[in-house]
Structure 1
């Protein structure tokens, strides 16, 4: 209800602004025969302004604005699209999406409260929490895991030392042959 009132008020303001601006830039007065043709016989209902050879028609009853052009000895009036209508349509679309997303969030929160998980099995949020507390530096590895890790690290260290030794030897060979 409020939105319609605001819409009507905004439409009237826009129409009045357009008619004032149109009157300021008007080239000439609208002829009597044009007034009769463009207003459908009700000239008191419309405010007319001649602009660039066309006629700007403002409806005083509902606030709509139309541009009237003469084609083939007949006048055709087309409504001027209002940006406000596009904004209201976008607002309504977004309001519908907000309602849909709010309902989905409530559905998911309700399922979570009932113990029904929407997550696939094995996902990070589906796994039980580990026994470690924040700031606790103890690892959850067994002694066998730690021994295996030590063996892997020792092997990696040996491989890296061999690789860098080979690089040093190659550098010496290249430096010796370049002199």
Structure 2
């Protein structure tokens, strides 16, 4: 065997170092699961494992079932809250637009109404036809105290009968006939 000169030996050493570095890096990259390079953060919980995806920000609960491990995403309340905030902001903008368009309220007004009885008919003039009998206002009288007493008496009797009937049913069920 012939002795190696220094340039050939240094070249071989550099090539071997490069091959080990690249090959070792590939092996490490292929064999390392996502949890080892920091993508997932695992925390044990009573139901299994809580998994946080540090890239996407999603949280999942992983548990063992008959077929193996299964991970289910935990509902993200922040997404629901953001959606509700967006909906409310859109509604506020819509209401602001309606308010800026002008008043559409048909309720109370600031000016007082004229002091005239709108229910009274004005005196018919010669050129106006007579008002038909069907246009009169119908008045419904309120019940008198006597009517109210009769209604209350009826309700009291009905209530007592209902309570008596419930007591009889309870006695029948308990066997104290």
Query: More helix per residue: 1 or 2?
Result: 1
Report the TM-score when normalising by structure 1. 0.38
Report the TM-score when normalising by structure 2. 0.38
Higher Cα Rg: structure 1 or 2? 2
